[in-house]
Structure 1
Amino acid sequence: MQQQKPALALYQPDIAGNTGTLIRLSACLGTQLHIIAPAGFRHDDKALRRAGMDYAALASVVRHDDFAAFAQMASAQGRRIILASTRGNIPHTDFAFTAGDLLLLGRESSGVPDDVHERATARIVIPMHQDARSINQAVSGAIILSEALRQLSAFPTAG
C-alpha cells in the first residue's frame, strides 16, 4: 500500500485556472486534490481544462458536496485539517506536517467563513511583506504542499 501523503483541499474555489493549476500540481507530485463544492465555475470550464491540460487523467481529485461532507471524511480517516490563512498564527515552515494532513485553501475572493476557520486543527500562514494582502491560491498551494512533502521526504522519485 502506498504511503499516504498530505493533500490539498480547496474550499469553494472561484477561479478555474487556479484549480486547474492545482490539479496539475497534484498529478505531478502524486497527491490528492479535494474540491469542496460549490465551485464558482463548471467542471468542464475551458480555463480549468487549459490549466489542468492533460493531467486530469493522472490526478486524484475527490469532490465533496459541502464542507460538512469534507469534515466528516477527515474525521472518519483521522486526518487533520490544516488551514492556510492570512489570519494563521504559525508560519508554514515552522509547522510539523504529517502524512495525512489536508491542507485547506480558502476561496480566492473571501477565504473561509469563521466556522470553517474554527474547525481547522491548525491555522498556518505563509509569511509575506506586511503591505501585501495575499498570495495567489495556486502559488500558495504549491508553497505549502512542497514544504509538507519536503518535511516528510515524500516527493516522488525522479525518473
Structure 2
Amino acid sequence: MAKLNIVLYEPEIPANTGNIGRTCVATGTKLHLIEPLGFSLSEKALKRAGMDYWSQLEVERYVNYEDFLQRNPGAKIYMATTKAKKIYSEASYEPDCYIMFGKESAGIPEEILVEHPEECVRIPMIGETRSLNLSNSVAIVLYEALRQNQFDHMKLEGDLHRLHWENV
C-alpha cells in the first residue's frame, strides 16, 4: 500500500500548514514538520484551515533537518524547488517516498538542495513568478505521486444520484 510522506521545512504560515494537513488526511499521507515553525500548532488559523480533520492527521515533528534525517534513515526524499531542472511529473515517486517543501519566504536552503540535485523537482510557471502558494504546490505534487501509485487505497468513484424533476 502506498504511504506517501509530505515534509514541510520550517513552515511559516499556519493556514498553509492547516490546508496541507487536511490534504494529508484526505490522501492517507503522513505530515512531517521540521522546526522551527513560524506558529504554534494550537493557533486558530491552523485549526480553521485544517478544520475538524486535524485530529485525524498523522503528524511528526522534528527539532531540525538533521533530526529528520536521523529518524528517517534511507528515506527517498524529493525536494520541490523553483531551482530544479526536472519537472515534478518527470520524477518516479516510490510508494513510501518523502516529498519536501520549503518555508514560504525562502524555500528549502540551497545547501540542502545541492546535495540532492537529481531529487529536486519543480512546478512549471510562466515568466518571473516566484512560486505558487505552498498548500497548492503540495497538492499538485502529491496528487501526481498518488496518480503514479494508482491512487492506492483511495476511493476512486463517487455516487451521483440522479435528480428527478416533476412538472418543471
Output the TM-score relative to the length of structure 1: 0.92
Distance 2:114 2:70 in 1: 15
* C-alpha deviation, 1:22, in angstroms: 0.4
Partner residue, 1:99: 95
Aligned ranges 1:7-156 → 2 under 5 Å:
7-75=5-73, 78-120=74-116, 122-155=119-152, 156=154
- Count residues with an aligned counterpart: 155
RMSD: 1.4
Distance 1:35 1:45 in 2: 15
Output the TM-score relative to the length of structure 2: 0.87
Instruction: Give SS of 1:56's match.
Output: helix
Unaligned stretches of 5+ residues in structure 1: none
What is the aligned-residue identity percentage? 35
Larger Rg: 2
Distance 1:127 1:68 in 2: 30
* C-alpha deviation, 1:157, in angstroms: 1.9
Deviation by residue 1:39-86 (Cα, 9 ceiling, x = unmatched):
0001111110100111012211111111001112232xx321110000
* C-alpha deviation, 1:118, in angstroms: 2.9
- Matched AA of 1:127: P
- Matched AA of 2:104: E
- Counterpart contact for 2:77–2:119, Cα < 8 Å: yes
Distance 2:100 2:121 in 1: 10
